[in-house]
Amino acid sequence: MKKKASIGIIIGNRDFFPDKLVAEARLDIIEQFEKLKLNYVILGENDTKLGGVETFKDAQKCAELFKQHADEINGVVVILPNFGDERGVAETLKLADLNVPVLIQAYPDELTKLDVARRRDSWCGKISVCNNLYQYGIKYTLTDKHVLHPKDPAFAKELADFVAVCRVVQGLRKVRIGAVGARPGGFNTVRYSEKILQRNGISVTTVDLSEILGNANKLTADHPEVKEHLDTILAYAPKGKTPDEAMIQIAKLDVVLKHFMDDNYLDATAIQCWTSLQQNYGCNVCTSMSMMSENMLPSACEVDVTGTLTMYAMQLASGSPSALVDWNNNYADDDTKCVLFHCGNWAKSFLPDIQISNAPILGTTVGVENTYGALDGRTPASPLTYGRISTDDPKGVIKVYLGEGELTNDPLNTFGNRAVAQIDELQDLMQYVCKNGFEHHVVMNASKTAAILEEALGNYMGWEVYNHSTSK
Q: Which amino acid would we find at residue 124?
A: C
Q: How far apart are the C-alpha atoms of 46 and 50, rounded to whole Å?
A: 6
Q: How far apart are the C-alpha atoms of 259 and 183, rounded to whole Å?
A: 21
Coil, helix or strand at residue 46 = coil
pLDDT higher than 90, residue 118: no
Partners of residue 419 on adjacent β-strands = 340
Pick from 356, 376, 373, 377: which is nearest to 254 by CA? Answer: 373
Q: 236 with 254: CB under 8 angstroms?
A: no
When pLDDT is averaged across residues 162-168 and rounded to a whole number, the result is: 98
Mean pLDDT, the chain, as a whole number? 96
Count of Cβ atoms closer than 10 Å to residue 325 Cβ: 25
Q: How far apart are the C-alpha atoms of 187 and 376, rounded to whole Å?
A: 23
Rounded to two decimals, the pTM is 0.96
pLDDT higher than 60, residue 175: yes
Q: 451 with 315: CB under 8 angstroms?
A: no
pLDDT at 3: 55
Q: Classify residue 223 as exposed, middle or buried by CB count within 10 Å of its CB (0-12, 13-18, 19+).
A: middle
pLDDT confidence band for 1 (50 / 70 / 90):
very low
When pLDDT is averaged across residues 441-455 and rounded to a whole number, the result is: 98
When pLDDT is averaged across residues 457-466 and rounded to a whole number, the result is: 98
pLDDT higher than 60, residue 124: yes
When pLDDT is averaged across residues 452-457 and rounded to a whole number, the result is: 98
Percent of the chain with pLDDT over 90: 94
Q: 284 with 278: CB under 8 angstroms?
A: yes
Q: 345 with 301: CB under 8 angstroms?
A: yes
Q: 385 with 318: CB under 8 angstroms?
A: yes
Q: How far apart are the C-alpha atoms of 367 and 360, rounded to whole Å?
A: 9
pLDDT confidence band for 116 (50 / 70 / 90):
confident
Alpha-carbon distances of 459 from 139, 157, 452, rounded to whole Å: 7, 19, 10
Q: What is the phi-psi region of residue 282: left when phi exceeds 0, alpha when psi lies from -120 to 50, beta otherwise?
A: left
pLDDT higher than 80, residue 2: no
Q: In this predicted model, what pLDDT tens digit does every residue of 249-278 receive, in sequence order?
A: 999 999 999 999 999 999 999 999 889 999
Alpha-carbon distances of 309 from 151, 194, 247, 293, 320, rounded to whole Å: 36, 12, 29, 12, 15
Q: Classify residue 369 as exposed, middle or buried by CB count within 10 Å of its CB (0-12, 13-18, 19+).
A: middle
Q: 405 with 327: CB under 8 angstroms?
A: no
| Residues in Cβ contact with 229 at an 8 Å cutoff, skipping those fewer than 6 apart | 251, 252, 254, 255, 258
Count of Cβ atoms closer than 10 Å to residue 190 Cβ: 20
Number of helices (H), then strands (E), in the chain: 15, 18
Alpha-carbon distances of 177 from 171, 203, 211, 254, 292, rounded to whole Å: 12, 6, 17, 17, 13
Q: In this predicted model, what pLDDT tens digit does every residue of 177-229 receive, in sequence order?
A: 999 999 998 899 999 999 999 999 999 999 999 999 999 999 999 999 999 99
Run of H or E residues at 34: helix 19-35
| % helix, strand, coil for the chain, step of 5 | 40, 25, 35
